[in-house]
Every structure is written in C-alpha cells, then in structure tokens.
Amino acid sequence: MAKGVSQTDLAHRRVGSEPAALRIGDAMRLLPMVLLRHDSRVQRAYDDWLARAVRYEDAGDFTDAAVLRCLFEDSVQLNALVRELKLQRYQSWLPKMLRWEFQRALEGAPRVDVTVPEGHGWATRGKRPKQRPGAMGGFRLENLEQHIERFYLCVVKDPPVKKKRLAIDQGCLRSDVQYSIRRAQILLDCIDAPLT
C-alpha cells in the first residue's frame, strides 16, 4: 500500500488521497485492457464494433444523426457485453472504458504499463517480505495489472480458473491469488465512490 492509502478507507469506498485515486484510475484503465487481451467474448465484440465503424465510414454519412446512431449502437452492444461478462456492478463506467480501449486498439496505441516501477516514491516500508523470487528487501510494491489479471481469470473468465490452479501455475501462494482478487474488487468498487 502506498503512503496515505488506507486499505480500510478503500474497503469502505472512501477515496481520500491522491495515491488512492491514482490506483483506482489505473485499475479502471487496466480492466478493459485485460478483457480485450484475454477474453474471446470481448475480442468478438471488438470485431463487431470495428466492422460497424468501417461500415459507417464507408457509407460516408457524417451527419449528426448518423454519429448519434453509431454511438447508440455502441452503447447497446457494450452494455450487453458487460451483462454477458457478469460485470453489471461496473455498468456505470465499464462500457465507456471498453469503447475507449477499442478506439485505442484501432489506432494501434502502445500498451500502457501502469504498474509501479521499482524504486518509485509509492513504495512503502512494510513487513519484510519472505525471501521469495522477486521479493524486494523491506518494500512492498503493488502490481495492479497482476491483481486485475487474477481477478479476470478467477472471477470473469468463462469457465473461471480455480484459485489453487492459478497459484500453482504462477508459482505463488493461494492466499496471494485471493489477495489480488480482493484488492482488484476493492479498487474497482471505488470507481463510483465519492471523494472525501
């Protein structure tokens, strides 16, 4: 956890610091990236979205009515996709972020790394990690992308990966996987939380 980021505050959906808000924003950007990268349902939706965009562009109709019709169709498609993924709890923001990610993929935007780099100011003093591969002497860094990917694999993916199987595959403890999933859920649930 970063200095000034209280896990208790986030668990109670209170965003009271800049580092907490930044982490929540990163989680908001990462979920659509992970979904597009790994989920075949989202990849099919992207292909449909792209075909529709090409169809509108080929028609050459750039009137306000055509743009509104295209946006409406996007909204219907992406809201249905969020329901299909069983992520209705994020219905207020996930369709918009999926559309944004689709546009990034269309433009060939480079992959964005939003994990905390080693030695960054957000590294916090904590309990000394056990001497496992990758353990950093006395510092604990949060790997948000790993949290979101584990959340996807164990909660969203159809069929979901068992936590024990994922822990074995990734060479970590089952409790690490459980922590990642819970942490991702806490961060994603805070997106609609009021700032304090």
pLDDT of 81-114, one tens digit each?
A: 999 999 999 999 999 999 999 999 988 866 555 5
Asked if residue 1 is part of any domain, the answer here is no
| Residue predicted with more confidence, 167 or 124 | 167
| pLDDT over 60 at 190, yes or no | yes
- For residues 173-195, average pLDDT: 87
Helices 174-189 and 18-38 sit at what angle, rounded to 10 degrees? Answer: 110
| pLDDT over 80 at 123, yes or no | no
Asked if residue 2 is part of any domain, the answer here is no
Asked if residue 179 is part of any domain, the answer here is yes
Asked if residue 144 is part of any domain, the answer here is yes
Question: Any residues with CB less than 8 A from the CB of 152 and at least 6 apart, and which?
Answer: 31, 34, 35, 38, 39
Asked if residue 133 is part of any domain, the answer here is yes
Query: What value, to the nearest 5°, has the Cα angle with vertex 166 and ends 114 and 97?
Result: 35
| Mean pLDDT score across all residues of the chain | 81
Asked if residue 129 is part of any domain, the answer here is yes
| pLDDT over 60 at 6, yes or no | no
Q: Which domain holds residue 12?
A: 7-189
What predicted TM-score, i.e. pTM, was given to this entire model?
0.76
Q: Specify whether the CB–CB gap between 1 and 124 falls below 8 A.
A: yes
Asked if residue 85 is part of any domain, the answer here is yes
Domains in the chain: how many in total?
Answer: 1
Residue 96 has phi, psi (to 5 degrees) of -65, -40
pLDDT at 115: 52
| Alpha helix positions (H), the chain | 7-11, 18-38, 40-59, 64-84, 94-106, 144-151, 163-170, 174-189
What letter represents residue 118's amino acid? E
- For residues 145-172, average pLDDT: 95
| Residue predicted with more confidence, 115 or 57 | 57
What distances in angstroms separate CA 157 from CA 6, 31, 87, 165, one per listed residue? 29, 12, 11, 14
pLDDT in tens, 33-42: 999 999 999 9
Asked if residue 194 is part of any domain, the answer here is no
